[in-house]
Amino acid sequence: MSALEVRDLSKNFAVGGALLHRAHVHAVEDVSFSLRPGTITALVGESGSGKSTVARIIAKLYDPTSGSVVFDGGDIARVRNRRDVLRYRSQVQMIFQDPFGSLNPVKTVRHHIERPLRIHRIVPSSQIDDRVHELLRTVGLVPPEEVAAKYPHELSGGQRQRVAIARALAVEPKVVLADEPTSMLDVSIRIGILNLMLELKEQHEIAFLYVTHDLASARYLADDILVMYAGQIVERGPIERVLAEPLHPYTRLLLASVHGERIEERHGRSSAAVDPAEGCRFVTRCPIAVPVCRQVTPGLVEARPGQSARCHVTAPSAD
Amino acid sequence: MSAVATQSLLGVQSLAVEYGRVRAVDGVDLQIGAGEILGLAGESGCGKSTVANAIMQILRPPAHIVEGSITFQGEDLTHKSTEELRKFRWRNVSMVFQSAMNALNPVMRVGDQFVDMMQAHESIAKRRATVRAGELLELVGMDRRLVQAYPHELSGGMRQRVIIAMALALSPELVILDEPTTALDVVVQREILQEVEALKRDFGFAVLFITHDLSLLLEFADRIAIMYAGEIVETGPAEQLASTPLHPYTQGLIQSFPPLTGPRARLTGIEGSPPDLRDMPSGCRFHPRCPHCLPENAALYLRQTTERPRLREITPGHSVACHLVDA
């Protein structure tokens, strides 16, 4: 059973300039996956791979070029009327990278957490204070009465991110999208935020999408992994299996660079896929490419139970 | 230690820096030998970048050095004139910042920016300087023809390589890298660091590598110094720090990086947050976050909360400032 499903999602952005004629960046192409309750799915890739765009489409901050986001039986990408959007947003919440920019500096912590409770009418007015305090306790901000009266500038980065998480939890969401929630925090407090997400997953049965470039934290948190490269999912599966025996050469490259192995192939850079030609997107960097890789775009093929990759060599299609 | 001291390239002695009345760096000692990679690790606000800026003598008011000295090849930098310092920077010590890639002039070709920098330090013809720029770009793994490129035509990683190439242009004895790859992707980050390591072997410059990412240092540095709240709390050879970290803060930092292999155990990290520099804890600055600071242990607790621990050498080259190790 899935809490939310993404089907064949694509998003193009038009780019232009003096040098180029109008072209399109295929930021996201043919992305499909589902998020399950009580499960953390890591969406891993380098900057420009399209991972944040996927999260933003799910959060309805962008509209997809094609494809659908299925929640509660309906396609959310096509929902327009305000009431339905509001209802969707009360179920699917997003936590951003920057806890300094996502809180209003002239409002107290109480204000930030009260607002969603009122807008979405989660509890009767008389219970709002109690619920604010309860939420602050849930995210480890104690004593809640004291914290609620503070302004963002009086809090550390880690505390601010906890406020942002409490605000997301206020509406009792089924799905939480966390876009690099710890990358701007100090090393010593990152683990605290990751542990909080683990607790929330277990206690509240939330389906998490954890967007990150950090494989180690993905392994620490997630049950499943989606590896993105140049707009496409190039590998997916249970995270332990994928990291132990990666199929796609890009996943192997990522692993090698965090394992401290020497990286050999070094032509090219991650191509932000501008009007991509047919063929594998990774071919210019790939150490195991064969001629067909330049001609045919590989599909996502399940090469081992539950583990799929887009690679003609390691995950050839049956036909 | 004496062997290091005699060949010391850069020496920082009891350095203290204040921003107005806030003391950001308090009594820091550092030695860097010729050709050595010293890693300086710590969280934001611990004073590590302030140390680098003090070495380069680019502290901006209200920041100023209130105590201590910085000697480079035996000369005290704190007594140099502005003109002497101008010549000293780039020629003897160069620095690469985290956001340096954004410091390139957007309306000037990359090659011309090399020419400008070189001509500010030596009389060199534009044509020769451009050829030299091309060679430097090749050194950092770029195509020499990219001297013709404008910065916006290059990716972030390539622009950061340009800056590193510039930092090497005048063959300095010391290169300071302040979070040089933090803004970059992991694959690019590793490629650049491998390149710096190879260049260091060929050219023999020393590196002061500043980062919050201890795991990178454990791999690339010869020696590591850990900073916390304006002080160095532990310093030693990289392998020793990795295998037997002595300070609870170092131990906590190492515990903050989830492993990619082995069992998936729940980590604890470090409780609390770094202190406010305007309101520094008494005694050991780490004591409010220290898991070994317990009131039950009355005698030790008193020392931890009232007496500032001093950096003491425990094994050759490995020093720590902690009452637990003293006891």
pLDDT in tens, B185-206: 777 778 778 888 888 888 899 9
- Residue-level pLDDT at A273: 63
ipTM of the predicted assembly exceeds 0.90: no
Q: Does residue B302 carry a pLDDT above 70? A: yes
Cβ contacts of B268 on chain A, cutoff 8 Å? 191
- Residue-level pLDDT at B296: 93
Q: How confident is the model at residue A58 (pLDDT cuts 50, 70, 90)?
A: very high
Q: Does residue B2 carry a pLDDT above 80? A: no
Q: How confident is the model at residue A22 (pLDDT cuts 50, 70, 90)?
A: low
Residues A188, B252 contacting (CB under 8 angstroms):
yes
Give the nearest partner residue to A187 out of B141, B156, B253, using CB atoms: B253
Residues B178, B227 contacting (CB under 8 angstroms):
no
Q: Does residue A84 carry a pLDDT above 70? A: yes
- Residue-level pLDDT at A260: 66
Q: C-alpha dihedral over A245, A250, A256, A261, to 10 degrees?
A: 130
Whether the CB of A234 is below 8 Å from some CB of chain B: the reply is: no
- Residue-level pLDDT at A271: 47
Residue of chain A whose alpha carbon sits nearest to that of B187: A257
Q: What is the pLDDT of residues A275-298, one digit of tens each?
A: 777 899 999 889 999 999 999 999
* The residue type at A292: V
- The share of chain B scoring above pLDDT 90, in percent, equals 52
- Residue-level pLDDT at A40: 97
Q: Does residue A264 carry a pLDDT above 70? A: no
Which position has the higher pLDDT, B152 or A242? A242
- Residue-level pLDDT at A311: 96
Average pLDDT, chain B: 88
- Residue-level pLDDT at B230: 94
- The share of chain B scoring above pLDDT 70, in percent, equals 97
Cβ contacts of A249 on chain B, cutoff 8 Å? none
Q: How confident is the model at residue A301 (pLDDT cuts 50, 70, 90)?
A: very high
Cβ contacts of A240 on chain B, cutoff 8 Å? 264
Residue B4's Cβ-side half-sphere holds a number of Cα atoms within 13 Å equal to: 18
Average pLDDT, chain A: 88
How many helices (DSSP H) and strands (DSSP E) are in chain A? 11, 12
- Phi then psi for residue A167, to 5 deg, are -65, -40
Report the CATH superfamily, name and number, of domain A4-91+173-245.
Answer: P-loop containing nucleotide triphosphate hydrolases (3.40.50.300)
User: Looking at residue A274, what DSSP letter applies?
Assistant: B
Residues A181, A193 contacting (CB under 8 angstroms):
yes
Cβ contacts of B252 on chain A, cutoff 8 Å? 188
Q: How confident is the model at residue A270 (pLDDT cuts 50, 70, 90)?
A: very low
CA distance B237 to B244: 10
- Residue-level pLDDT at A19: 52
- Phi then psi for residue B320, to 5 deg, are -145, 145
CB contact under 8 A, A186 and B258: no
Residues 167-206 of A with CB under 8 A from B: 186-192, 194-195, 198
Whether the CB of A262 is below 8 Å from some CB of chain B: the reply is: yes
Q: Does residue A265 carry a pLDDT above 60? A: no
Cβ contacts of B187 on chain A, cutoff 8 Å? 46, 253-254, 257, 263
Give the nearest partner residue to B43 out of A187, A215, A269, using CB atoms: A187
**Shortest alpha-carbon distance between residue A190 and chain B (Å):** 7
Residue of chain B whose alpha carbon sits nearest to that of A251: B187
pLDDT, average across residues B12-17: 95
Q: What is the pLDDT of residues A123-162, one digit of tens each?
A: 999 999 999 999 999 888 888 999 999 999 888 888 899 9
Q: Taking CA B108 as the corner, what is the angle to CA B106 and CA B112, rounded to the nearest 5 degrees?
A: 140
Q: What is the pLDDT of residues B46-81, one digit of tens each?
A: 899 899 999 999 888 889 999 999 999 988 998 889
Give the nearest partner residue to A257 out of B43, B187, B264, using CB atoms: B187
pLDDT, average across residues A200-218: 92
- Residue-level pLDDT at B122: 87
State the alpha helices, DSSP H only, in chain B: 2-6, 48-55, 82-91, 110-121, 126-139, 156-168, 186-203, 214-220, 238-243, 248-254, 298-306, 323-326
Q: How confident is the model at residue A37 (pLDDT cuts 50, 70, 90)?
A: very high
CB contact under 8 A, A191 and B268: yes
CB contact under 8 A, A216 and B257: yes
- Residue-level pLDDT at A266: 46
Q: Residues of B at the A interface (Cβ-Cβ below 8 Å)?
A: 43-44, 141, 155-158, 185-191, 194, 212-214, 219, 252-253, 255-260, 264, 266-271, 273-274
User: Which residue shows structure tokens 């990679």?
Assistant: B37
Cβ contacts of A217 on chain B, cutoff 8 Å? 258
Residue A149's Cβ-side half-sphere holds a number of Cα atoms within 13 Å equal to: 3
- Residue-level pLDDT at A17: 54
Q: Does residue B155 carry a pLDDT above 90? A: no
Residue A285's Cβ-side half-sphere holds a number of Cα atoms within 13 Å equal to: 19
Give the nearest partner residue to A258 out of B212, B256, B260, using CB atoms: B260
Q: B38 pairs with which residues across the strands?
A: B208, B223
Residues A79, A85 contacting (CB under 8 angstroms):
yes
Q: Which of B152, B154, B185 to mutate to test the interface with A (most CBs of A within 10 A)?
A: B185
How many residue pairs from chains A and B have C-beta atoms closer than 8 A?
A: 92
- Residue-level pLDDT at A303: 94
CA distance A153 to B105: 34
**Shortest alpha-carbon distance between residue B238 and chain A (Å):** 15
Residues B96, B175 contacting (CB under 8 angstroms):
yes
Which position has the higher pLDDT, A186 or A120? A120
A31 φψ region: left (φ > 0), alpha (ψ -120 to 50), beta (else): beta
Q: Does residue B234 carry a pLDDT above 90? A: yes
Lowest pLDDT segment from A42-46, A185-189, A246-250: A185-189
Residues B321, B233 contacting (CB under 8 angstroms):
yes
**Shortest alpha-carbon distance between residue A206 and chain B (Å):** 19
- Residue-level pLDDT at A15: 65
In terms of C-beta density within 10 A (0-12 exposed, 13-18 middle, 19 or more buried), how is residue A16 classed?
A: exposed
- Residue-level pLDDT at A179: 92
CA distance A103 to A152: 7
- Residue-level pLDDT at B222: 94
pLDDT, average across residues B154-179: 88
Q: Does residue A64 carry a pLDDT above 80? A: yes
Residue A125's Cβ-side half-sphere holds a number of Cα atoms within 13 Å equal to: 0
CB contact under 8 A, A191 and B269: yes
- Residue-level pLDDT at A6: 95
- Residue-level pLDDT at A298: 95
Q: Does residue A25 carry a pLDDT above 50? A: yes
pLDDT, average across residues B126-138: 92
